[in-house]
Structure 1
Amino acid sequence: MDFSLLLVIAVALSGAIYLLDVLWLRPKRRERLATAEAATTEGLDAPTREKLLKEPWPIDYSRSFFPVLLVVLVVRSFIVEPFQIPSGSMKPTLEVGDFILVNKFAYGLRLPVVHHRFLEVDDPERGDVMVFRFPEEPAVNFIKRVVGLPGDSIRYEGKQLYVNGEPITKTLIEEGPELSPQQLLLEEQLGSVSHYIYNNPRDPGPQMREVVVPDGHYFTMGDNRDHSNDSRYWGFVPEDNIVGRAFAVWMHWDGGLPSFTSVRRIE
């Protein structure tokens, strides 16, 4: 289900009904009231006046919901949008069940539904955690880390990432961390961003020969390097598919009671 499309339809429909009432139906109700009052010398009682001025239920609901729906549409489309993490591809940065906030204007403002960028702000930077529409199934949102920018050459061999021929620095932090005892916890320096990744020493993982990122595209990878469906498998992310930059975790929910103890910035 395309929630953005449903929201746009709801705003357009409620707004149209509300505008129709303001411009035509409400004056008609007042005209009927004036005609009824002119036809009697005793004046109209309160129930009769209320009945003649009463709004039909579609108009009443539209007047009540239109401002709320419009605010939700503007905030969700142009300012910030919440998402839930459904998989472990971004561990240890993001856990399954994390609820995140995504900055919708960081990479420019886009029209809802059609996703056309009408105002340029900034472009993704190496190391950003980015939400985008999956190129092979645009109705599905993915979240990965930006590794390659347009024009970069990217290679991944022996669990080592190379950008423009240079190996990306990573430092071993812990062998067999408590949350994932089969993995190695490492700190990686990607551009100006220092962040943690997982590598599985028992799994050779994917190998990828050098590729060059085309103009208008980005190369992304999950922080859980051996368990991530990312650009190493399906290619590049078109600029038109970008949704926004993930910047905070505001809640965690794994089926029990929601927890707010993991509120944090996303690095």
Structure 2
Amino acid sequence: MTTTSQKNLKGTWAQAIGTFLLPVLIVFGIRWIVVEPFVIPSGSMIPNLLIHDHILVKKYSLGLKIPFSDYWIMRWRTPQRGEVLVFRYPENPDVYYIKRLIGLPGDVVVVRGSGQITVNGQEWTLHEDPPREDDNFSYFSEDTGQQKHVVRFYGSPLASDESKEYQVPEGEYFFMGDNRDQSSDGRVFGYVPEKYLIGPASVIWLSCESTLTSVSYICDPRQIRWKRLFNSVQ
């Protein structure tokens, strides 16, 4: 083999490796820094997020982490009360949860009944929404003082007089689901360390009633919820 042909062969291999690695690096960079897709596995965030909603999470929104770790390189903002965030489940960090952020570090959160919230003495007011068809639940518009969203209860949120206080430790956060009577959240597992935060949910890019029998994580194309596609997460 001549010297020229050896150089051409090396060039071909370098080009092939570069062609293969470049798309991988682009995809990795997007998922590490920009956005990452997640699928909603449970009904804890009904009515705002449904089972089999496919969402995009803005990983760049809070800051930048070291790849494959939970350690921040830099932070440019803290999450806000009322945001819907994805985080690692404190009792098993390999599992991802999505809930609404209720309490920031240092906050005092009081939960009355099945989910009426007061933060640092300020009540998140509830205004009852009209009933929905074929549904035995009650829906309320919840006002945090900065934004509004809809939450769901079996009946009255204050059917019980019981209340519980949560004092959020420094460096940790308190979350609850919007489906207040059917959510395993901070009332059960406690607080979420800052290092386990992933980012706020941004948009529903795909949604379906059911998935394929043979591949449980792929939507059945006959069961697409077309009206939910590209809706912002409230």
Identify the TM-score tier after normalising by the shorter chain. 0.7 to 0.9
Find the aligned partners of 2:172 and 2:145 in 1 and give their Cα distance: 18
2:28 corresponds to which of 73, 77, 80: 73
With over 3 angstroms needed to count, the CA separation of the structure-2 counterparts of 1:242 and 1:205, relative to structure 1, is farther
Larger mean CA deviation between 130-139 and 204-213 belongs to 204-213
Aligned: 1:117 with 2:72: yes
With over 3 angstroms needed to count, the CA separation of the structure-2 counterparts of 1:186 and 1:129, relative to structure 1, is same
Higher helix share: 1
Question: Deviating runs (4+, > 6 A) in structure 1?
Answer: 57-60, 202-206
Deviation (angstroms), 1:200: 0.6
With over 3 angstroms needed to count, the CA separation of the structure-2 counterparts of 1:206 and 1:197, relative to structure 1, is farther
Contact 1:213 1:236 in 2 (8 A): yes
Find the aligned partners of 1:197 and 1:118 in 2 and give their Cα distance: 35
2:28 alignment partner AA: L
Find the aligned partners of 1:80 and 1:205 in 2 and give their Cα distance: 41
Aligned: 1:173 with 2:139: no
Contact 1:206 1:226 in 2 (8 A): no
Contact 2:113 2:163 in 1 (8 A): no
Find the aligned partners of 1:73 and 1:191 in 2 and give their Cα distance: 38
Aligned: 1:188 with 2:142: yes
Find the aligned partners of 2:19 and 2:128 in 1 and give their Cα distance: 57
Structure 2 counterpart of 1:146? 101
Q: Deviations over 1:61-87 (max 9, x none)?
A: 633321011111110011111111111
1:264 alignment partner AA: N
Percent identical pairs in the alignment equals 34
Deviation (angstroms), 1:182: 1.8
Q: Deviations over 1:199-248 (max 9, x none)?
A: 11189689552121111111000000011110000100110000011011
Structure 2 counterpart of 1:33? 2
Find the aligned partners of 2:135 and 2:103 in 1 and give their Cα distance: 29
With over 3 angstroms needed to count, the CA separation of the structure-2 counterparts of 1:147 and 1:191, relative to structure 1, is farther
With over 3 angstroms needed to count, the CA separation of the structure-2 counterparts of 1:207 and 1:130, relative to structure 1, is farther
Deviation (angstroms), 1:144: 0.3
With over 3 angstroms needed to count, the CA separation of the structure-2 counterparts of 1:58 and 1:208, relative to structure 1, is farther
Q: Which has the larger radius of gyration?
A: 1
Find the aligned partners of 1:239 and 1:99 in 2 and give their Cα distance: 24
Higher strand share: 2
1:104 alignment partner AA: K
1:265 alignment partner AA: S
Deviation (angstroms), 1:191: 3.7
Deviation (angstroms), 1:193: 1.6
Larger mean CA deviation between 130-139 and 200-209 belongs to 200-209
With over 3 angstroms needed to count, the CA separation of the structure-2 counterparts of 1:138 and 1:208, relative to structure 1, is farther
Find the aligned partners of 1:251 and 1:68 in 2 and give their Cα distance: 23
Find the aligned partners of 2:149 and 2:45 in 1 and give their Cα distance: 11
Q: Deviations over 1:11-51 (max 9, x none)?
A: xxxxxxxxxxxxxxxxxxxxx532xx7xxxxxxxxxxx4x8
With over 3 angstroms needed to count, the CA separation of the structure-2 counterparts of 1:259 and 1:200, relative to structure 1, is closer
Cα root mean square deviation, aligned = 2.6
**Bigger relative contact order, structure 1 or 2, given CA contacts below 8 A and separation 6+?**
2
1:264 corresponds to which of 221, 228, 231: 231
Structure 2 counterpart of 1:210? 165
Deviation (angstroms), 1:260: 4.0
TM-score, normalization by structure 1: 0.75
Contact 2:138 2:156 in 1 (8 A): no
Structure 1 counterpart of 2:215? none
Contact 1:154 1:163 in 2 (8 A): yes
Query: Which consecutive unaligned segments of at least 5 residues does structure 1 have?
Result: 1-31, 38-48
2:86 corresponds to which of 125, 131, 134: 131
